[in-house]
Amino acid sequence: MKVDLREVRKALAWRLQLIRARRGRAKSRATFIGITGSSGKTTAASLLGHILAGHGSVYTQVLANTIKLLVSTLSRRMKRSGGADYVVFEAAAFGPDTIRPMAELLRPNVAVVTMVRLEHLASFRTLENVAGEKSNLVRALEPGGFAVLNADDPHVLAMVSASNCRSVTFGMSELADYRVRDVHAAYPELLRFSLHWRGNVLHLEVPFPGEYFWLPTAAAVATALELGVPPQTVKERVATFKPLENRGQVIVAGNGPHFIVDAAKAPWHSLYLAFDAVAKSTFSRKRIVLGQLSDFAGSNTKYAYAYSAAREIADQVIYVGDHAHRSKASQADRDSGRLVQFRTAKEASDYIGQTGMPGELILLKSSSSLHLERVALAFTHDVQCWVPVCGKREGCEQCGLFGVPFDQHREFVAQRKLQRRRRKLLRLFRR
């Protein structure tokens, strides 16, 4: 039997990395916080890291939320951070048994669960399967730790019994430990709400354009308060948080349109939340740009429903991508321009560049594959990368190469690495 030595070496290297990661976790005195959920986990983790940075030193790992990145965090990156007081890690479930190994390695002192929805349909099939996978984070809690759970979601609330550790809840429910009240956002008025707990009230102003961001905000704030961060510090840090790119990010194009960029993911349950933010805006002219839906790429019904809902809110709906024909819009809507369809983001960008008006609101909603954020970036930057599908999961701003044609990316990156090496050698020589 022939043995593949490369595979053997890979397996041995991975085992060594796991050993180093476990050793790094055991030696660390930080408070480890794991955050999961079908939506809102990235925002909650980023905001919590921002809040805790006003109270101590923090290492936050979001977006890159796989076991490989967790191993890297525990074995190498934390050493470079100098020993943080808090480690915030976003744990994503891509399929059955994907959170459990991360949770067992992380051994969280705090486990936060935002919500359970039916994503990754082909892998999970049912809400119960999603909930079971997410609950692995709570089961892995270290003794003396606690869980922070969404009281409005029955599948999350049921996770109280997943661990012997204590649980605190947040939500609009009267039974929640941290109760959310008076939620309001009507862009350009940004989100504000009050949080009530144990006889205390905190009035929060949050730089998000839609009301639905109360949930990840409440999750982060409740966690911070439970960790002993003073309420005034929490309030001040929340007010200075900068939303992540493509997740409720607002881009204002000088004297042009205002964009709400929500183009990182588009699960069915999140569409109407984003639409609601547009509906409640006080802007007189509104447009919605729809790209690819998550998990429903081949569903005629879902794309038609999405168009029908968007049409009730917006003056114009712009469909982008290979599924634009699934809108089932009437011929009258097509003839009048109520619906416009394009195959690529570049075509949509050119059209909006020609028709964009000052003081109008445009929502960009899609899964990340189309990188619809380029439509907004083109108003403020010279976007040169317009390949329809680049295969990169990170957003264009995080990638940083949207100003370079796609076929030149490799050469550009190689030159940039070479320049960094030269600068490093020059610094060493000067010493």
Q: What is the pLDDT of residues 310-319, one digit of tens each?
A: 999 999 999 9
Q: In what order do the strands lie in the sheet with 316-320?
A: 249-252, 258-262, 360-365, 285-290, 316-320, 339-342
- For residue 144, the number of C-alpha atoms closer than 13 Å in the C-beta half-sphere is 3
The answer on pLDDT for 431 being more than 90 is: no
Number of alpha carbons in the 13 Å side-chain half-sphere of residue 355:
17
Region 125-131: what's the mean pLDDT?
78
Q: What is the CATH number of the domain that holds 75?
A: 3.40.1190.10
Give me the pLDDT at residue 403, please: 82
pLDDT, tens digit, for every residue of 179-203?
999 999 999 999 999 999 999 999 9
Q: How far is CA 370 from CA 2, 126, 367, 393, 394, in A?
A: 43, 27, 7, 10, 11
pTM confidence score = 0.87
Per-residue model confidence (pLDDT) at position 2: 63
Same domain, 235 and 253: no
The domain of 256 spans 249-411
Same domain, 96 and 203: yes
Q: Is residue 204 located within the same domain as residue 347?
A: no
| Nearest residue to 298 via CA among 122, 147, 96, 126 | 122
Q: Are residues 54 and 170 in the same domain?
A: yes
Q: What is the pLDDT of residue 79?
A: 57
Report the pLDDT value the prediction gives residue 326, as an integer from 0 to 100. 82
The answer on 265 and 393 residing in a single domain is: yes
Task: Answer yes or no: do 307 and 232 share one domain.
Answer: no
Banded pLDDT at 3 (limits 50, 70, 90): low
Which of 179, 210, 239 lies at the terminal end of a domain, its last residue? 239
pLDDT at residue 299 tops 80 = no
CATH number for position 274: 3.90.190.20
Q: Which two tokens stand for residue 211?
A: 């009301």
Question: For the chain, what is the domain count?
Answer: 2
Closest by alpha carbon to 151, among 200, 116, 104, 125? Answer: 116
